[in-house]
Amino acid sequence: MTTPPVYHNLIGGRSVAPVSGRTSENRNPADTREVVGIFPDSDAHDVAAAVEAARAAYDSWRLTPAPKRGEILFRAAQILVERKEQLAHDMTREMGKVLKETRGDVQEAIDMAFFMAGEGRRLHGQTTPSEMPNKFQMSVRQPLGVVGMITPWNFPMAIPSWKIFPALIVGNTVVIKPAPDTPLSTFHFVQALADAGLPPGVVNVVCGGAEAGEALVAHPDVKVISFTGSTATGARVTRLAAESMKHVSLEMGGKNPMIVMPDADLDLAVDGALWGAFGTSGQRCTATSRLIAHRAVVGELTERLADGAERIVVGNGLHDASQMGPQINQLQLDKIISYVQIGSAEGARLVTGGMRLADGELGHGFFHQPTIFADVNRTMRIGQEEIFGPVLSIITVDSLEEAIDIANDVPYGLSSSVYTRDVNAAFRAMRDLYTGIVYINAPTIGAEIHLPFGGTKATGNGHREAGTQVLDVFSEWKSIYVDFSGSLQRAQIDNN
């Protein structure tokens, strides 16, 4: 066994050990015998140092022309392209999902870098005609200052890219606290930015758990908090941030429905449901957690899904044969096991799966079978609560209207989908599904980077990530008026 590498916080461009000396191990969830690295368990002192470094770098960075900021992002994208395979390999080691998926995670960061680099030459505002003579008016974006970011473990490079790149392009500086389970991918990401020429202190990394997170949210010099994680933690973030009137962007849970109508292409629907439910081991806020199927097809669909789930090869994500990796940690595995017990106790029919996988090498990781419940009632906990694991609940309906009603009848509203060949039904679903994302004939996967990503109800607080809409999270509008009339003009007073 090799000695695992030791990492420190990145503050002001330097590697800085945590003040307390506390550390935590980052272990491979597919094989807990492997320690990926030793990382800081930071506290408020470390957070304060990182915020001060970001604050000191802010004035210089905000005055760097936006096109020049974009050029750094463009170079970072090129570096990520060059390092993609190694970054994906390390991400699989610390997060567990299979290599095809971690390559996609890195690619999403690449796409976001190229997209936001281009915004450095846009950042459009408005010019409008004045109601007064000899007067010019326009609006421009302005940065806010230091942005605090708290990111999850399931997409440890893609999600930081959704936050860091748009924050940087409008001129903010950043302190990011990655999830304790996946800090290495964030270090790799920020290293690419540094190698691309990002000045020291513009992005700082502080590792740790809730103590560091709360210190970041509460720090008075942090002007914006961008959080992705559980709804319970998001509520806590909102309360803490409100005390200092911070801007807050929240992306939280999902209980995403996939509706299958009688006229659907069932081959396509089966493929979509298997990927939507069991991709990333179900550990996605956009995972297909509920399959709402018409009574005319639910029987055949259930049989074919069970057959497909039983064929999924579960194993170490580094192995080419593996199609689904482990849960991230013991706590998450225990949660899945608990929900399987809840579903059975509620009277749902366990169709397939339901067990931890612990034979041979799998016994060293946090593996669980792909699991399907049928005969699920809309009010059951497994039909209402986010499980965040490889558990699919099948609900039977008799009409599209009933399906949409059930789809909307959960606390969340992130992603939804409908499989149908009826264009009228598709457009009714697009209109009536109350989610931030709607797919037609595709599962409840996430958004492409050039459209806004986010949800309704308990999924978020109205902001969006990705697309140009994300710029509104990290900037404020300034309206500017230039009166060249040479006389006092009193707008509505002189214009009535």
Query: Any idea what DSSP says for residue 280?
Result: G
* Nearest-angstrom CA–CA distance, 334 and 341: 11
Q: Is residue 293 part of a domain?
A: yes
Residue 260: name the closest of 212, 296, 306 by CA.
296
pLDDT at 496 over 80: no
pLDDT at residue 136, as a whole number: 97
> Are 244 and 98 contained in the same domain?
yes
pLDDT digits (tens, 9 = 90+) for 82-111: 999 999 999 999 999 999 999 999 999 999
pLDDT at 446 over 80: no
> Are 187 and 272 contained in the same domain?
no
> Are 321 and 430 contained in the same domain?
yes
> Are 55 and 175 contained in the same domain?
yes
> Are 243 and 364 contained in the same domain?
no
CATH number at residue 195: 3.40.605.10
Q: Is residue 492 part of a domain?
A: no
> Are 260 and 368 contained in the same domain?
yes
pLDDT at residue 272, as a whole number: 98
Q: Is residue 190 part of a domain?
A: yes
- Residues involved in catalysis: 251, 285
Q: In what order do the strands lie in the sheet with 391-397?
A: 349-352, 371-374, 391-397, 288-294, 256-260, 415-419, 437-440
Query: Measuring CA to CA, how many Å separate 161 from each of 133, 237, 295, 430?
Result: 45, 21, 42, 29
Q: Which of 328-343 are b and which e, b meaning 16 or more Cβ less than 10 Å from the residue's Cβ?
A: bbeebbeebbebbeeb
* Nearest-angstrom CA–CA distance, 9 and 208: 10
Q: Where are the alpha helices (DSSP H) in 243-291?
A: 266-278
Q: In which band, very low, low, confident or very high, does the pLDDT at 495 lie, cut at 50, 70 and 90? A: confident
> Are 182 and 239 contained in the same domain?
yes
> Are 330 and 204 contained in the same domain?
no
> Are 182 and 313 contained in the same domain?
no
Strand-pair category, 371-374 with 391-397:
parallel
pLDDT at residue 494, as a whole number: 78
> Are 375 and 336 contained in the same domain?
yes
The domain tally of the chain equals 2
Q: Is residue 1 part of a domain?
A: no
User: What number is the average pLDDT over the span 457-484?
Assistant: 96
pLDDT at residue 491, as a whole number: 79
pLDDT at 176 over 70: yes
User: What number is the average pLDDT over the span 403-407?
Assistant: 98
pLDDT at 165 over 80: yes
pLDDT digits (tens, 9 = 90+) for 34-55: 999 999 999 999 999 999 999 9
pLDDT at residue 120, as a whole number: 97
* Nearest-angstrom CA–CA distance, 182 and 156: 6
Query: How far is C-alpha 102 from the geometric centre of its chain's CA atoms?
Result: 14
User: What number is the average pLDDT over the span 174-199?
Assistant: 98
Q: Is residue 224 part of a domain?
A: yes
pLDDT digits (tens, 9 = 90+) for 254-268: 999 999 999 999 999
Q: Is residue 14 part of a domain?
A: yes
Q: Is residue 240 part of a domain?
A: yes
**In terms of residue numbers, what domain contains 433?**
256-440
pLDDT at residue 1, as a whole number: 59
Q: Is residue 172 part of a domain?
A: yes
> Are 308 and 190 contained in the same domain?
no
**Distant-in-sequence, close-in-space partners of 370: CB < 8 Å, separation ≥ 6:** 277, 278, 309, 310, 312, 314, 324, 352, 353, 390, 392
User: What number is the average pLDDT over the span 268-281?
Assistant: 98
Residue 155: name the closest of 109, 210, 211, 224 by CA.
109
CATH number at residue 363: 3.40.309.10
User: What number is the average pLDDT over the span 192-203?
Assistant: 98
User: What number is the average pLDDT over the span 57-74?
Assistant: 98
* Nearest-angstrom CA–CA distance, 364 and 408: 39
Contact 259, 419 (CB under 8 A): yes
Q: In which band, very low, low, confident or very high, does the pLDDT at 492 lie, cut at 50, 70 and 90? A: confident
- If you average pLDDT over every residue of the chain, what do you get? 97
Counting residues of the chain whose pLDDT is more than 70, the rounded percentage is 100
pLDDT at residue 340, as a whole number: 98
> Are 233 and 310 contained in the same domain?
no
Q: In which band, very low, low, confident or very high, does the pLDDT at 2 lie, cut at 50, 70 and 90? A: confident
Q: In which band, very low, low, confident or very high, does the pLDDT at 286 lie, cut at 50, 70 and 90? A: very high
Pull the structure tokens for residue 92: 């699989």
pLDDT at residue 432, as a whole number: 98
pLDDT at 385 over 80: yes
Query: Any idea what DSSP says for residue 471?
Result: G
